[in-house]
């Protein structure tokens, strides 16, 4: 085990014999695992990834399998594309608080937007966009190595509401720092909520600091009140380009109806004029039937067997030092709305 969170554990699986009949799989994959009885978040992620299908800007899913653990418990395993370059949060941290080059921010932002358009077109809302959930995948072609950011961690994703009668969730999905005003006040999370979170990510990339810098040490309820009640948006420094400011303005409209959509933002001057990378959209080639192939991966024919914490002859787990994929925690991301019921009630009374 090399990563652990509220959802379960993360392993790094290494295909030792890439020329075997399982060579259609990447040499290295990330495997999320949890006992079946507590694997709801991972199974939810599997369902969402199956429904939205393949997109070059979303972490790929190569299938799932239920195996028998060493202690006899049933384990649910989800095979995912490995973010060998770490996460966007790692990249921002390396900037030492100065932020990334705006040219890089524009490039990463365009990729995230393309992933968001696909997610929203499929009728889903991610609900937990943040730098920790944006993974960096590297691809080497000849002597050149390209980096592409991809959206990952769909454990909190939900269907977008199709009618005007919205059914409120019993809890807030996501991370407080990236929650939109309507999510805090009304527990409403629709595509515009993802756009607000995108704005927070872009601001964090540009500044190297959290979107609500200086307010993250407030108590949780006070901090959420700040997001929900005030007329403020995250502060945009004057050093950011005019295009960057206008882009963020479109993300940070406090009323969701005035927020720009992902399609609108993709046509914004902030992300226009960049060299295109659509020529390498098929990063790893096609995996025809991901469910069937994932089941084949675990066949007990001495080709490749997964059991609890190890692969056999063809597959093995990589050591902790070689692991770059961030672990996620449901416990950190899901916020019980009951903790902030007093805020919600006060807000409705005022209205």
pLDDT of residue 178: 95
pTM of the shown model: 0.80
Local confidence band at 166 (pLDDT 50, 70, 90 cut-offs): low
Residue 70 has pLDDT above 90, yes or no: no
Asked if residue 197 has pLDDT above 70, the reply is yes
Using the Cα atoms of residue 65, residue 68, residue 69 and residue 75 in order, give the sign of their dihedral: positive
pLDDT: is 204 or 221 the higher one?
A: 204
Model confidence pLDDT, tens digit, residues 81-91? 999 888 999 99
* 22-39 per-position pLDDT tens digit: 567 788 889 999 899 888
Please compute the mean of the pLDDT values over residues 167-178 and round it to a whole number: 73
Confidence of residue 167 (pLDDT cuts 50, 70, 90): low
By C-alpha distance, which of 239, 294, 307 is closest to 71? Answer: 307
Rounded to an integer, the average pLDDT of 36-63 is 93
Q: Give the catalytic positions in this structure.
A: 128
Q: What is the mean pLDDT of residues 6-33?
A: 76
CA-atom Rg of the chain in angstroms: 21
Range with the largest mean pLDDT of 226-230, 269-273, 316-320? 269-273
pLDDT at position 100, please? Answer: 96
Span 135-140, mean pLDDT? 85
Task: For the chain, list the domains and their CATH numbers.
Answer: 3-82+287-318 (3.30.200.20), 88-277+335-350 (1.10.510.10)
Cα 111 to Cα 90: distance, rounded to the nearest angstrom: 17
The dihedral formed by the CA atoms of 59, 60, 64 and 68, expressed in degrees to the nearest 10: -50
Of 139-143, 253-257, 306-310, minimum mean pLDDT range: 306-310
pLDDT of residue 18: 60
**Do the annotations mark residue 32 as ligand-binding?**
yes
Mean pLDDT (whole number) for 212-241: 85
Structure confidence at residue 165 (pLDDT): 54
């Amino acid at each position: 085990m090399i990563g652990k969170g509220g959802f379960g554990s993360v392993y790094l699986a290494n295909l030792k014999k890439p020329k075997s009949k399982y060579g259609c799989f990447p040499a290295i994959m990330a495997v999320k695992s949890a006992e079946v009885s507590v694997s709801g978040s991972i199974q939810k992620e599997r369902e969402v990834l199956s429904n939205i299908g393949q997109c070059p800007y979303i972490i790929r899913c190569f299938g799932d399998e239920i195996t028998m653990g060493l202690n006899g418990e049933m384990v649910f395993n989800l095979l995912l594309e490995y973010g060998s370059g770490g996460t966007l949060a790692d990249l921002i941290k390396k900037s030492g608080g100065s932020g990334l080059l705006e040219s890089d921010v524009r490039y990463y932002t365009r990729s995230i937007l393309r992933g968001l358009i696909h997610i929203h077109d499929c009728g889903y809302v991610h609900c937990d966009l943040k730098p920790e959930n944006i993974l960096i995948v590297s691809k080497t072609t000849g002597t050149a190595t390209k980096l592409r950011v991809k959206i990952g961690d769909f454990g909190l994703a939900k269907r977008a509401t199709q009618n005007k009668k919205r059914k409120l969730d019993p809890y807030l999905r996501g991370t407080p720092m990236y929650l939109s005003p309507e999510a805090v006040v009304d527990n409403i999370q629709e595509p515009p909520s993802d756009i607000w979170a995108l704005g927070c990510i872009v601001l964090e990339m540009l500044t190297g600091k959290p979107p609500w810098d200086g307010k993250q040490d407030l108590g949780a309820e006070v901090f959420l009140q700040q997001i929900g009640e005030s007329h403020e948006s995250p502060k945009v420094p004057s050093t950011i380009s005019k295009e960057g400011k206008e882009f963020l303005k479109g993300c940070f409209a406090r009323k969701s109806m005035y927020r720009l959509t992902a399609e609108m933002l993709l046509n914004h001057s902030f992300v226009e004029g960049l060299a295109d990378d659509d020529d390498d959209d098929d990063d790893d080639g096609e995996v025809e039937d991901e469910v069937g192939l994932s089941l084949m991966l675990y066949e007990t024919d001495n080709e490749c067997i997964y059991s609890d914490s190890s692969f056999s002859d063809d597959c093995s787990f990589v050591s902790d030092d070689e692991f770059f994929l961030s672990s996620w925690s449901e416990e950190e991301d899901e916020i019980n709305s009951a903790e902030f019921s007093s805020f919600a009630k006060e807000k409705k009374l005022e209205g």
